[in-house]
Amino acid sequence: MLSTGQLIVVTGPSGVGKGTLLQILCDRHQGKILFSISVTTRQPRAGEVDGREYFFWTRQKFEQSRAEGEFLEWAEYAGNLYGTPRRAIEDWIALGQIVLLEIELEGARQVAQTFPSAKRIFIAPPSMEVLEQRLRQRSTDSDEAIAKRLEHARKEVAAAPEFDPIIINENLEDALQQLEKAIFSA
């Protein structure tokens, strides 16, 4: 069904720096990579815009679309639903584009089943202590939400060997270079 493009999945615990890395990547390689915009039922954070960071939907609308098979993958994470709209991804891949998904572990596992040819990259923190610091310094989540995210993070880090490559985001520029190599190498 999908033959010409390349699907790339980037996974890693919340707060590890996926969004930071991918934003720089997007600026450096404009037009060369297409980024999927996910749907979520979580509330927008300050500064987030519907249709830019996410499509912010009600749980009812999400569940209806899910039942209609409109998501390529989906997962419940820290009490909210997240999903990748299928249509745009399939169209872009068919057009030969490099398409990037930034998603959590369960979704990445689903994509491994449905698109075995997808590249699967894991962004790991230098340590759990650094991860917690980054989540706290970002100031976007309550203590309770941070605790839930750290709980998920432990499971996600344990699953890192399912991915190749594993990139440790300690020095941002080093991590970016490894990410570029993973994405643009044949």
Ligand X SMILES: Nc1ncnc2c1ncn2[C@@H]1O[C@H](COP(=O)(O)OP(=O)(O)OP(=O)(O)O)[C@@H](O)[C@H]1O
Ligand Y SMILES: Nc1nc2c(ncn2[C@@H]2O[C@H](COP(=O)(O)O)[C@@H](O)[C@H]2O)c(=O)[nH]1
- In the annotated binding site for ATP, the residues are 12-19
Distance set, CA 119 to CA 10, 133, 134, 152, 159 (Å)? 8, 29, 26, 22, 16
Q: Who's near 26: CB < 8 A, 6+ residues apart?
A: 33, 35
State yes or no: residue 107 binds ligand Y (CB under 6 A). yes
CA distance 124 to 122: 6
CA distance 95 to 55: 23
Task: Write out the binding residues for ligand X, residues 118-147 only, by CB under 6 A.
Answer: 134, 137-138
State the minimum distance, in angstroms, from the CB of residue 20 to ligand X. 3
42 binds, among ligand X, ligand Y, none (CB under 5 to 8 A by kind): ligand Y
State yes or no: residue 6 binds ligand Y (CB under 6 A). no
State yes or no: residue 17 binds ligand X (CB under 6 A). yes
CA distance 163 to 74: 19
Residue ranges of the binding site: 12-19
137 binds, among ligand Y, ligand X, none (CB under 5 to 8 A by kind): ligand X
Measured from the CB atom, is 38 or 97 closer to ligand Y? 38
Q: Who's near 129: CB < 8 A, 6+ residues apart?
A: none
CA distance 17 to 51: 21
95 binds, among ligand X, ligand Y, none (CB under 5 to 8 A by kind): none
- Contacts with ligand Y by CB under 6 A lie at 14, 18, 38, 42, 73, 75, 77, 82-84, 102-104, 106-107
- Contacts with ligand X by CB under 6 A lie at 12, 14-20, 134, 137-138, 169, 172
